[in-house]
């Protein structure tokens, strides 16, 4: 069922069940996916899926790129838009965070170094399968997790990503050093898989209510 072509907010557009499923699937994949792949995973016809994806794009929740595979017309591929916040709303974000912290405490690595080490393991597990190895893949994963990364700035061989949303802000207020150490480790783990030739040069936390944390990257030459 499709709604009329009226202007819809992100919240309204997700009220449609198929679009909600598509958005959730892309958030779980944490990478771009083609229309045919999404249709196949949801057992739906690609033509109808394409219309729903276009509505999500118009609402600012998805971005579309064209990818070429051999001859013929390039195919559309879709990913969570940087400004969308799929992981930034309860209950999912807090359930994940609670599970990760429980895992850290269970391993008795409660120092900042231990939390970062555990976060790195988690980041490797969170890295999307079949993603292209590149710093851009990290940005797509962060967007899918609800961090709303902005377009990176470049200075020499450095690349800085600013995070426009903190999906765990309520918990961060209780213990910012611990949560940020875990997040720093997660960023390292994602890089290990998604951009192994890129190192985490800096991780600068900010006020969770204002967001703006900075993730600095540099080519490692590995």
Q: Model confidence over 12-41: pLDDT tens digits?
A: 788 899 999 999 999 989 999 999 999 999
**Position 122 pLDDT exceeds 80:** yes
pLDDT at 175: 85
pTM of the prediction? 0.78
Q: Please answer whether residues 138 and 157 qualify as being in contact, where contact means their C-beta atoms are separated by less than 8 angstroms.
A: no
The C-alpha torsion from 121 through 123 and 128 to 134, rounded to 10°, is -110
The CATH T-level fold of domain 10-80 is Arc Repressor Mutant, subunit A (1.10.10)
**Position 4 pLDDT exceeds 50:** no
- Residue-wise pLDDT for 129-169, tens only, equals 887 888 889 999 999 998 999 978 888 789 999 999 998 88
Per DSSP, helices labelled H in 68-156 are 92-106, 112-126, 135-144
Residue 112 sits at the vertex; the CA angle it makes with 146 and 210, to the nearest 5 degrees, is: 35
Kindly report the CATH number that applies to the domain delimited by 92-219. 3.30.1380.20
> Counting Cβ atoms within 10 Å, is residue 17 exposed (0-12), middle (13-18) or buried (19+)?
exposed
Sketch the domain layout of the chain as residue ranges.
10-80, 92-219
> Distance between CA 215 and CA 161 in Å, rounded?
5
pLDDT at 2: 44
pLDDT at 132: 81
| Three-state secondary structure call for residue 60 | coil
Phi, psi of 159 (to 5 degrees): -135, 125
Closest CA to 181 of 194, 193, 168: 168
> Distance between CA 50 and CA 34 in Å, rounded?
10
> Distance between CA 177 and CA 82 in Å, rounded?
25
């Amino acid at each position: 069922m499709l709604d009329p072509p009226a202007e819809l907010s992100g919240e309204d557009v997700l009220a449609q069940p198929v679009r909600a499923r598509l958005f959730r699937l892309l958030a779980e994949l944490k990478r771009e996916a083609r229309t045919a792949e999404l249709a196949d995973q949801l057992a739906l016809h690609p033509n109808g899926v394409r219309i729903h994806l276009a509505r999500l794009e118009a609402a600012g929740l998805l971005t579309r790129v064209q990818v070429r595979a051999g001859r013929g017309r390039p195919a559309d591929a879709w990913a969570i838009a940087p400004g969308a916040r799929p992981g930034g709303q309860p209950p999912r974000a807090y359930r994940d965070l609670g599970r990760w912290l429980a895992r850290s405490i269970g391993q008795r690595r409660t120092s900042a170094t231990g939390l970062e080490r555990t976060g790195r393991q988690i980041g490797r597990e969170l890295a999307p399968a079949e993603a292209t190895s590149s710093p851009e893949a990290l940005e797509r994963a962060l967007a899918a997790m609800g961090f709303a990364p902005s377009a990176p700035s470049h200075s020499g061989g450095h690349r800085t990503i600013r995070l426009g949303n903190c999906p765990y802000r309520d918990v961060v207020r209780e213990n910012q050093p611990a949560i940020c150490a875990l997040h720093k480790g997660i960023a390292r783990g994602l890089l290990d898989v998604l951009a192994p030739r890129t190192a985490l040069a800096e991780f600068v936390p900010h006020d969770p209510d204002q967001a703006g944390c900075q993730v600095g990257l540099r080519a490692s030459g590995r």
